Amino acid sequence: MNPQFAALYGPVAEDLILVEDMLESTKQVQIAPLKRMLDHALQGRGKRMRPALVLLAGTFGDYALNRLVPLGAAIELLHTASLVHDDVVDGAVSRRGRPTANAAFDNALTVLLGDYMFANAAEMVTRTGSLHVTRLFALALMKMTSGELDQDAAAFDVGKDIQNYLWRIGGKTAALFETAGEGGASLASCDQATVEAFRTYGYSLGMAFQIVDDILDFTGDEAEMGKPVGSDLREGTITLPGLLLLERQPKNNPIGKFFAAHRNKEQRLQEAIEYVRGSGALATSMDMARTYVTRANEAIAACPRTEAHAILMRLGEYVLGRTS
């Protein structure tokens, strides 16, 4: 068992092996090129926070692994497939220090790879036997796509506001955490109040996760992050720290200057990054992330004080303390 999983996820850490096994099973295909691409896409193993949330929520009811594991694996596969497609859209050549699928193969094949993974994830979620959870899964995919479309359509647009950003990350990131929490509790036949509590917990944790991600784009270590500092701004995406800066200084700000620059783009980018770092926007953004963690913990405050509950209460602090 992964020792980091044991520390992070406590009572469900060993059962995450079943999720890993199901993800591995997706590589068992007859078409050799597809197998190579699946091997590449599924090689990098993340923290598995989303499937862990499915299992942790499931401990508060009927902990039926034959239903919970397929949902956890489906959510992780959906997440991975969305990254595969995002990298094609962004023209990214690396992720977490590894070549992206579109860099290793070509864009057309990589789009088809993502399509195959989406379909495989949809098939997995039907194994839960729950029409309600299958619908939650489909709605999450719609929200994720809407959030990503909004982000890409708004590239290099300084006219967006913080409310739009919160809506965008609510779809792009938080929707999948929300589905993990709500779906896990629902599959465990928890009462409606508990299901609602885990829906709110998952959504709020996902919002905090993305805000911290956006802070790290300005403060993270390039080697640890596996991408250059300021990658979002470079692609024209203005996240919470940048939006806070624009709100305080709508005119004559370094982000607008970077977007408008035709020469010395790299210098303008570095000026924008340094300005955000010194503006207080990062501290304000972290305060907002803490607020979402507080909401997450308050949502499950009335749940039984089990080992899983203690793990969930600590998970928010882990998200806030992330360095990659």
What is the predicted pLDDT for the residue at 251? 87
Topology of the domain comprising 3-320: Farnesyl Diphosphate Synthase (1.10.600)
Average pLDDT across the chain, whole number: 93
274 closest CA partner among 248, 242, 252? 242
- The 10s digit of each residue's pLDDT in 144-179 is 999 999 999 989 998 889 999 999 999 999 999 999
- The 10s digit of each residue's pLDDT in 225-244 is 778 899 999 999 999 999 99
Instruction: Give the C-alpha distances (Å, rounded to integers) separating 45 from 133, 150, 204, 289, 306.
Output: 25, 28, 24, 25, 28
What is the predicted pLDDT for the residue at 96? 67
pLDDT at 140 exceeding the cut of 80: yes
The average pLDDT across 276-283 equals 94
What is the predicted pLDDT for the residue at 97? 66
Domain-wise residue ranges, the chain: 3-320
Strand partners, 99: 94
Long-range (24+ apart) CB contacts under 8 A made by 78-83 are: 78/117, 78/118, 78/121, 78/137, 78/140, 78/141, 78/144, 78/176, 79/50, 79/176, 80/41, 80/42, 80/117, 81/114, 81/117, 81/118, 81/121, 82/114, 82/144, 82/148
